[in-house]
Chain A
Amino acid sequence: MTTASKRPAWQEPPTPVGLAAKGLVLTAIVAVVTVPLYVVVLTSLSPAEAVNRAGGLVTVPDGISFAAYQELFAGGVVTRSVLVSLGVTLTGTALSLAVTILAAYGLSRPGSLLHRPLLFLILLTFLFGPGIIPSYLLVSSLGLIDSYWSLILPTAINAFNLVVMRAFFMGIPGEVSDSARIDGANDWQILTRIVLPMSKGVTAVVGLFYAVGYWNAFFNAILYLNDNTMWPLQLILRQYVQQGQTLSVGSLADPSQTSALPPNLAIQMAIVVVALVPVVLVYPLVQRHFTKGVVIGAVKG
């Protein structure tokens, strides 16, 4: 098992030109992303007058203020919704991952009974989606309105994730499971003892995709939750962005009579940052499984 931390012995030392070119490209890529990111973070930390002076995003530091974050977290509504989102994301990801792994493995053996029609059925869900009204009628008839399960079950299986995970399982050499079977292992044992340990990378990736899906989702909550105290983070945050949009939406009576706070760019950017934080924290955990050679090399090699 090689680790990526050191250059393997067989690999030639990098040429200075190559190294410089690579450094340059990487720096450019990182800059193209970090500069806007910096602008976003800076704006979120700027006092209102700085945003007013800039007429939009703040690019040059012009005072620092945590007011946007204080406003977001005052009252405990955002904090509460973070807990909701975490709960839904963790539960949902665990469920989705488990069901996806099972199905992906179940459909991964060449020539197994019914695997093609089943796969085709699953692929169809990738192409044809239900409308919101029938979905609502279904969720409602199952008694899941105002239940957290309504945020999880309707989107628990993603055909794309399933198909790709299956493809990865199929990449595992057949001899490995064949020999296990000859030793008397059943499919459950082959999955848990052989296939899964060899598939940490894809499990991490699919898990990440599911988690991000749950974390970013808000439309199910719009449809299925009447109770505002159950709203997930993304939906709560959307409400901040909508401030001052009364007018663009239509003529809702006289909005001068309503009390929306002015659209505050600092808060909008703070929202971007708040929604990013967990993503930033989680990624290194996923990335660990990409380390070269750990995944299949160990077995294949």
Chain B
Amino acid sequence: MSAMPPRHRAPSTSTKPWATRRRFLGVLGFGAAAAASGGLLSACAPSGPRPGSGGASAAAVDSLDALCPTYTPYEALPPDIPGQHGAPSGFTSYPTELVQAVAETPGRGGHYRFMAPLWAPIPPGLGDNSFYDAVNGRLGATVEFSFQDGNTITDRLNVLIASREVSDITMVPDWAINLIPNFAEAAGELFEDLTPYLAGDEVAPYPMLASLPTPAWRWGIFNQRLQGVPWPSDPYNEWMFYRQDVFEANGWPMPANAAELMELGREINDPDNNRWAFGDMWRTVRQVFRTPRDWRYENGELIHRYETEELAAAVEFMREVYDADLIHPDVISSRGAGVKELFNSGEILVYQDGFGGWTEAYRGVLAQNPDFRMNLLPAFAHDGGTPSLHPNDPSGQCVLLRRGMEPDQIREVLGLINYCTAPFGTREYMMYRYGVEGEHYELDGNGAPQRTELGQREYSDGYLFLSGRNNVIAESEYPGYVESYTSWYNDAAQYRAADPFEGIRIQRPSAYSAIEQPTEDKITDIIRGRRPVSDITQVVDEWRRDGGEEAREFYHGVLQENGRD
């Protein structure tokens, strides 16, 4: 899949969509203000399409496989609970014997600056940081981190692309790529083409990289060039968590359909005692109702999620949830509400979160509240039938190398990346994630690594972000965590929703992204009781009118280009 040919500035979708839009503008007018300035506006009406309407998608996805490294699995340790249907594998205990995955020192004394976003405190820098010294020593090269504020990383990346000033190594989160106009084009000019170093059997010197699955690698291809080293994603991102300890104490059942979820919510909701049933849950409820992630391809017709009956039903359900006051008021009244704190304290009993929230909560709460337990609601669908969960894109990030490095340097950096790709169970993994035993971490009674005070102070996710790795579920120090999580995943992984665009990286024309937010806003208005439920038809009509039809046409073209129509 994927790869984006250059994003044409000229519309690849013909000028017809524009004409439609303009006709519409002429017919309906836009309220008093627009009407007042109508004369002026029509006088200077644009002759071209709306900026941002251009865009193009991948050519035949299958042709990309030749650019990918030959897949050679690598397993340091056999998992205790093998992942099924693509779910990550589980380890119920920490290994006593670590495997050495990379025999030689990968570096040759080079010095590389690595820019990555970070969502954590900045540790002391190179020279004041024994963790960095230890890992760099083992790497045989110096990686100097230049961390960026994670929330403004797109600003920073845009600026660097405009100025053509990139670090030796750059990590770009996948979601940020879509927010950068012309990323594919920029990637070709700013970053090195890794195809000659990694495609096919060229990957042999980097066995850890060869162990990353091919779909993830395809996600690192731009303009028919392999450019980014991926971090393979797990099948899903998020689902509903519940407070297992509170549920067990009260004997509450697990819901198996939407009606039961509602019933459960009404039963456990208790505002008088400052306890609410739910936090935010809209994105997961959409999946409960089998709404497609974006598009569904049916009988030769692309149907957007807004247009499905399933979405209307999900909206109606959420409206009922809001009407019954089952959602914590703080979550409703501010985007900045501390949902996790509310869940940890028991003021919220069910909420949606990324899976990382699980260990995060255990790390923060178990020490003070040893009885605290959370778990995932089993995957279910609104009618009790087969669930349908939205799959992730195949990779979560791209690691890119500055264009113009010497081939030797590129090989050296790929060696460093190879080292940092070593999975759970290897010495390398312990090194780049924890440092030196006895210095930066110690093993507790479970054999689980615990950072020492020095380790906590000096550790950063920098080396982790230098590459990706096949994820595993291994935090066996948390009671029941590995068992609960793997059994949920091995079940849920069967229910991946079909996506007609699976594996195709599409840089969405911004004009189509622009119509999404107003539509989401209107849906929010309905869900929260500010508009009648019946308005959903009108909302969808407006979406179609304001660019939805053009988007459909664009996406249909993508299907055709990929031979999937």
A-B interaction: yes
- Using a CB–CB cutoff of 8 Å, the interface residues on chain A facing chain B are 47-49, 51-56, 74-77, 132-133, 136-137, 140, 145, 218-219, 222-223, 226-229, 231, 235-236, 238-240, 242-247, 249-265
Instruction: Tell whether, in the assembled complex, residue A55 and residue B347 are in contact, meaning their CB atoms are under 8 Å apart.
Output: yes
| Contact between A48 and B151, CB atoms less than 8 A apart | no
Residue pair A56, B167 in contact (C-beta under 8 Å):
no
For B158, list chain A residues within 8 Å (CB). 132-133
Partner of B458, one of A48, A75, A223: A75
Q: Which of B125, B145, B338, B355 lies in contact with A265, CB distance below 8 A?
A: B338
Q: Report the count of interface residues on B (CB-CB < 8 A).
A: 80
Residue of B nearest to A262 (CB): B364
Q: By the criterion CB–CB under 8 Å, are B121 and A243 in contact? A: yes
Subset of 29 A-B contacts with CB under 8 Å? A52-B341, A52-B345, A133-B163, A222-B152, A222-B156, A223-B155, A226-B115, A226-B146, A236-B121, A239-B120, A242-B149, A246-B119, A249-B151, A249-B175, A250-B174, A253-B468, A254-B233, A254-B396, A256-B358, A256-B359, A256-B360, A256-B471, A256-B475, A257-B469, A258-B120, A259-B464, A260-B360, A262-B340, A262-B364
Within 8 A of A (CB), among B119-164: 119-125, 128, 145-152, 155-156, 158-159, 162-163
- Given A223-B155, A258-B461, A243 and B119 touching (CB < 8 A)? yes
Would you call A260 and B120 a contact (CB within 8 A)? yes
Q: Find out whether the CB atom of B149 lies under 8 angstroms from the CB atom of A235.
A: yes
Measured CB to CB, the nearest residue on chain A to B148 is A222
Q: Which of B192-250 contact A (CB under 8 A)?
A: 231, 233-234, 237-238
B459 contacts partner chain A, Cβ-Cβ < 8 Å: yes
Q: Is the CB of B119 within 8 A of A52?
A: no
B229 to chain A, nearest CB (A): 12
Q: Roughly how many angstroms separate A54 CA and B342 CA in the complex, as a whole number?
A: 8
* B123 x A226 contact (CB < 8 A): no
B505 within 8 A of A: no
Count of CB-CB pairs between chains A and B under 8 Å: 202
Closest beta carbon of chain A to B365's beta carbon, Å: 6
Is A244 a contact of B468 with CB atoms below 8 Å?
Answer: no
Contact assessment for A250 and B175 in the assembled complex, using a CB-CB cutoff below 8 Å: yes
In the complex, the answer to whether B338 meets A49 with C-beta atoms within 8 Å is no
Residue of B nearest to A47 (CB): B368
Residues of B within 8 A of A222 (CB): 148-149, 152, 155-156
Closest CB in chain A relative to B336 CB, distance in Å? 10
Closest to A136 in B: B159
CA distance A261 to B451 in the complex (A): 12
CB distance A136 to B397 under 8 Å?
no
Alpha-carbon distance between A244 and B119 when the two chains are bound, in angstroms: 7
Q: Which residues, 387 to 419 on B, are CB-close (under 8 Å) to A?
A: 392-393, 395-397
Q: A77, B124: Cβ atoms under 8 Å?
A: yes
1/0 contact trace for B354-386 toward A, CB 8 Å? Answer: 111111110111011100000000000000000
CB <8 Å contact, A56 and B151 = no
Q: Is B344 an interface residue (CB 8 A)?
A: yes
Q: How far, in whole Å, are A262 and B343 apart by their CA atoms in the complex?
A: 13
Answer yes or no: B113 CB below 8 A from chain A CBs.
yes
- Assess whether A260 is in contact with B119, with CB atoms less than 8 Å apart: yes
Give CA–CA (A236, B231) in the complex, Å. Answer: 27
The residue from B125, B237, B364, B367 contacting A251, defined by CB atoms under 8 A apart? B237
Q: Flag whether B427 is at the interface (Cβ < 8 A).
A: no
B357 engages A247 (CB within 8 Å): yes
The answer to whether B345 and A55 touch across the interface, beta carbons within 8 angstroms, is: yes
Q: List residues of chain B with CB within 8 A of the CB of A228.
A: 122, 125, 145-147
Q: Is the CB of B6 closer than 8 A to any CB of chain A?
A: no
**Bound CA–CA A52/B365 (angstroms):** 7
Cβ distance A56 to chain B, nearest Cβ, rounded Å: 5
Which of A49, A229, A244, A257 is the most central at the interface, judged by chain B CB atoms within 10 Å of its CB? Answer: A257
**Contacts A133-B162, A228-B146, A260-B360; A239 near B121 (Cβ below 8 A):** yes
Q: Output the least CB separation between A33 and chain B (Å).
A: 21
Asked if B428 is at the interface of the complex by the 8 Å CB criterion, the answer is no
Top 3 A-B residue pairs of the complex, sorted by shortest distance between their CB atoms: A262-B364, A55-B345, A255-B356
